[in-house]
Amino acid sequence: MAAVLFMTFGNYLVESLDPIYCFEEDRKDDIAKLFGFGMISLLTLFNMFSLKKFAARLQVVSMVCKILAISAIILIGAYFLIVKGWTSHYAPDYIMKGSNYSASEIVLGIYQGSWAFAGYNTLNFGTEEIEKANLAKILTVASLGGLAIASTVYILAAFSYFVVLSPADIMGSDAVARTFIQKTLGTTTSYFVPGIVGILLIGTLNGDLFTWSRYMWAGSKKGLMPSMFKLVHPDNDSPRISVFTHSFLSLGFAFVGNTDQLVNYLQITSTLNTIFIICALIWIKWKQLPVSETAVKFSIIWPILNLIINIGLLVIPLRQDAIACGIGTGCFLVGVGVYFLMFYPERRFHFLDRIDSKF
């Protein structure tokens, strides 16, 4: 996910600088990646050395700025809809014109859309950072409030975009916010938008670094990953090795494909992971295996329904994008294979223990 975010950041930054310095068209992708590499490197240092002083504050400031920016888009769209009377894009004979209703295209669209909303589960990875006395209250307010706010502003922003832009405009734009502002407030103002969006992405990228480094740290504490990932710096409580490793791997993924391809790979791997977890949950409930007394109680119907939906999301796009499905499945199977080879056996290979100890 970090690779998608910093590549998107680089693309927006290139767009914002284009009026000042005209980049060669065939080198824009490489330049965007370099901008992204610089940003993720800087955020990695902040998360390693200044977690509470800078990284945490950056996240709060970024969230406020995002809400303000999206609110501006919503208000502009509302003005052109209500005051200017721009309703033609919502005419019944226009809005769905040229749509592709094939199941595989719809599922691939769901992949792209669900990735945009995927931040709702970030809170799960940061529970160690929450004061235990207020854990239940903070989790409830943050999860329900975050979902409600994100869903509301995203849907209203999409509605505003379609007031001004046609589906063809959106599909053909590398920076939709810039195209939107260009058609509403003029060309001069639109030059600033990609830079603003790029700055807002910094907070999202910072949150991704925080999330997945904690994921690796928690896995290491459970003995499911190399021991070095559970090391925490005594001064700022930062799992520095986990942060660095996540950033380093993200740099490598930037060379695997473009942002759309990476999102599809990510969603397929994530869907397989979800299917695997749901199967385990169904098995636990079917066999009535003992669980924590504080576990959430619900009917077995819900995980079964969830499983059916996720299997559909995995199988349907096979014909449309077999390569993405193959790569995503391969990434998942590599992870499963490594687990059963290195961590599942009661008696592991001695050379692995020696390597783990050295690291």
Residue 67, domain member (yes or no)? yes
Half-sphere exposure of 206 (CA within 13 A, CB side): 25
Question: Does one domain contain both 216 and 206?
Answer: yes
Residue 184, C-beta contacts closer than 8 angstroms, at least 6 positions apart: 76, 80, 164
Question: Does one domain contain both 263 and 351?
Answer: yes
Decide if 14 contacts 32 (C-beta within 8 A): yes
Residue 167, domain member (yes or no)? yes
Quote the mean pLDDT of the chain. Answer: 81
- Provide the residue count of the chain: 359
Question: Does one domain contain both 241 and 308?
Answer: no
Question: Does one domain contain both 202 and 349?
Answer: no
Residue 79, domain member (yes or no)? yes
Alpha-carbon gap, residue 332 to 314, rounded angstroms? 13
Question: Does one domain contain both 186 and 268?
Answer: no
Question: Does one domain contain both 11 and 79?
Answer: yes
Residue 110, domain member (yes or no)? no
pTM of the prediction? 0.70
Give helix 28-49 / helix 240-253 axis angle, nearest 10°.
Answer: 170
Residue 236, domain member (yes or no)? yes
Query: How big, in percent rounded to 5, are the helix, strand and coil portions of the chain?
Result: 75, 0, 25
DSSP 245-313: HHHHHHHHHTTT--HHHHHHHHHHHHHHHHHHHHHHHHHHHHHT----TTPPP--THHHHHHHHHHHHH
DSSP assignment, residue 316? G
Q: pLDDT tens-digit profile of 153-208?
A: 888 998 999 999 988 888 887 678 778 888 888 777 767 777 777 777 888 888 88
Question: Does one domain contain both 93 and 216?
Answer: yes
Question: Does one domain contain both 178 and 246?
Answer: yes
Output the CA angle 294-149-270, nearest 5 degrees: 60
Residue 124, domain member (yes or no)? no
Question: Does one domain contain both 78 and 211?
Answer: yes
Q: pLDDT tens-digit profile of 264-308?
A: 777 788 788 888 889 999 999 998 888 877 677 788 899 998 898
Last residue of a domain, one of 209, 238, 255: 255
Residue 305, domain member (yes or no)? yes
Structure tokens at 134: 């207020």
Domain residue limits at 314: 256-359
Last residue of a domain, one of 196, 224, 255: 255
Closest CA to 107 of 338, 359, 320, 305: 320
Question: Does one domain contain both 187 and 267?
Answer: no
Question: Does one domain contain both 246 and 271?
Answer: no
pLDDT of residue 126: 65
Decide if 255 contacts 36 (C-beta within 8 A): no
Which pLDDT band, with edges at 50, 70 and 90, does 116 fall under? low
Residue 25, domain member (yes or no)? yes
Instruction: Kindly tell me if the per-residue pLDDT of 240 is higher than 80.
Output: yes
Structure tokens at 86: 């721009």
Q: Estimate to the nearest angstrom the gap between the alpha carbon of 102 and the chain centroid.
A: 26
Last residue of a domain, one of 255, 279, 299: 255
Closest CA to 329 of 278, 271, 259, 274: 271
Which pLDDT band, with edges at 50, 70 and 90, does 121 fall under? low
Count the domains in the chain: 2
CB atoms within 10 A of CB 15: 24
Q: pLDDT tens-digit profile of 97-113?
A: 777 887 777 777 776 67
Question: Does one domain contain both 247 and 277?
Answer: no
